[in-house]
């Protein structure tokens, strides 16, 4: 029986692993289906994780995460490169973690840290320029375009709120949206409309992102009426929705093991407790996640400490 099963090996999962093992738990396994590090390893630059800033060349996400697993393993965390299929409750009140290949393990506590995945819009060049001009995070990458022109794709709350955020940094923000009405809340639409730095390009979508080895140079826009336009921008922010990686919590009958909101984000309290005792969630998959490495790591630390308390209090 494991003391704690951690699902996902991004900043939240690794930090949960550090705090549980260093806090004294002996049997802690982190199930990460790929290499540990999480989605930040896709980023070519990170400059908002405190204490590790490097200007030239900038610190990559891969470099940031490289030492984390080693530090965790030093204190006893084990990593198994396996995909978790499902977590369910056992009759004894523990958890059964079902792994790919019909294997399963029992655990006293589980910390789910499977993150979320920004949806792709599906235009040509989107993957090629991701992290090199195409971004899904204004807080992360907005500053790289200080006093430059950028574009935002999408017409939901995220797109318009992030366009307003970018307007504080960039010289101009084009919002490209496929309709002429918005999914975003009316007050947000009004604020964006009133902002002199924001220009709307409506009834249009991005058809192609183009550039060279140095990165994005611009986007080809296709209007509903067939017209085509080229917008020369070094940055395109894509906000077309998010998929929460919550499938491990889905039960055979289609219900979720713990409470989730209508977007599928896991509902937690300030201690990362879900609605099920002994089950914790941390990082990008929880409600109101700021989707930052520093915040995911903080969640992981809190969840790790709470798993320790839970085991001690219940004398498991």
- Calculate Rg over the CA atoms of the chain: 21
Q: With contact defined as beta carbons under 8 Å apart, do 218 and 231 qualify?
A: yes
Q: With contact defined as beta carbons under 8 Å apart, do 251 and 276 qualify?
A: no
CA distance 233 to 218: 5
Q: Does 278 bind ligand FAD (CB under 6 A)?
A: no
Window contacting ligand FAD (CB under 6 A); options: 29-37, 90-98, 149-157, 272-280: 29-37
Q: Which helix (H) or strand (E) holds 97?
A: strand 95-99
Q: How far is CA 142 from CA 50, 81, 131, 133, 290, in A?
A: 17, 34, 12, 10, 15
Number of residues assigned to the chain = 316
225 catalytic? Reply is no
Q: Does 296 bind ligand FAD (CB under 6 A)?
A: yes
Question: Which of 3, 141, 284, 299 is labelled catalytic?
Answer: 141
CA distance 254 to 56: 49
Q: Does 31 bind ligand FAD (CB under 6 A)?
A: yes
Please say which residue, 115 or 304, places its beta carbon nearer to ligand FAD: 115
Window contacting ligand FAD (CB under 6 A); options: 51-59, 155-163, 263-271, 293-301: 293-301
What is the smallest separation between the CB atom of 260 and ligand NAP, expressed in angstroms? 13
Site string for ligand NAP, 250-279 (x = CB under 6 A): -------------x----------------
Please say which residue, 102 or 288, places its beta carbon nearer to ligand NAP: 288
What is the smallest separation between the CB atom of 290 and ligand NAP, expressed in angstroms? 12
Q: Is 133 left (phi over 0), alpha (psi -120 to 50) or beta?
A: left
Tokens standing for 5?
């099963």
Binding residues for ligand NAP restricted to 115-144, rule: CB under 6 A: 121-122
- What does the binding site for ligand NAP look like in residue numbers (CB under 6 A)? 121-122, 153-159, 161, 178-179, 183, 205, 239-242, 263
What residues act catalytically?
137, 140-141
């Amino acid at each position: 029986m494991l003391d704690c099963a951690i699902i996902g090996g991004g900043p939240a999962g690794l930090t949960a692993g550090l705090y549980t093992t260093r806090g004294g738990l002996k049997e802690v396994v982190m199930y990460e289906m790929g290499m540990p590090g999480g989605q930040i390893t896709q980023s070519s630059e990170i400059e908002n994780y405190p204490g590790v800033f490097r200007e030239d060349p900038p610190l990559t996400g891969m470099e940031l995460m490289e030492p984390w697993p080693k530090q965790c393993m030093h204190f006893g965390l084990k990593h198994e490169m396996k995909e978790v299929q499902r977590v369910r409750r056992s009759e004894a009140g523990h958890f059964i973690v079902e792994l790919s290949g019909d294997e399963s393990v029992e655990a006293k506590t589980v910390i789910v840290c499977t993150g979320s995945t920004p949806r792709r819009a599906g235009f040509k060049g989107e993957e090629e320029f991701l992290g090199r001009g195409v971004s899904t995070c204004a807080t992360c990458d907005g500053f790289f375009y200080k006093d430059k022109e950028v574009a935002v794709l999408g017409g939901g709350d995220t797109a318009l709120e992030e366009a307003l955020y970018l307007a504080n940094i960039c010289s101009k923000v084009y919002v490209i949206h496929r309709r002429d009405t918005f999914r975003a809340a009316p007050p947000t639409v009004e604020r964006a409309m009133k902002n002199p730095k924001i220009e709307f390009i409506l009834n249009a979508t991005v058809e192609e992102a183009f550039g060279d080895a140095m990165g994005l140079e611009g986007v080809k826009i296709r209007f509903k009426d067939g017209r085509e336009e080229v917008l020369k921008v070094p940055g395109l922010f894509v906000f077309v929705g998010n998929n929460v990686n919550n499938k491990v919590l889905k039960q055979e009958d289609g219900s979720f093991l713990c409470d989730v909101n209508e977007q599928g984000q896991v509902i937690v309290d300030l201690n990362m407790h879900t609605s099920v005792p002994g089950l914790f969630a941390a990082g990008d998959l929880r409600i109101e996640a700021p989707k930052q490495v520093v915040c995911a790591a903080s969640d992981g630390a809190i969840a790790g400490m709470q798993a320790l308390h839970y085991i001690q209090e219940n004398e498991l």
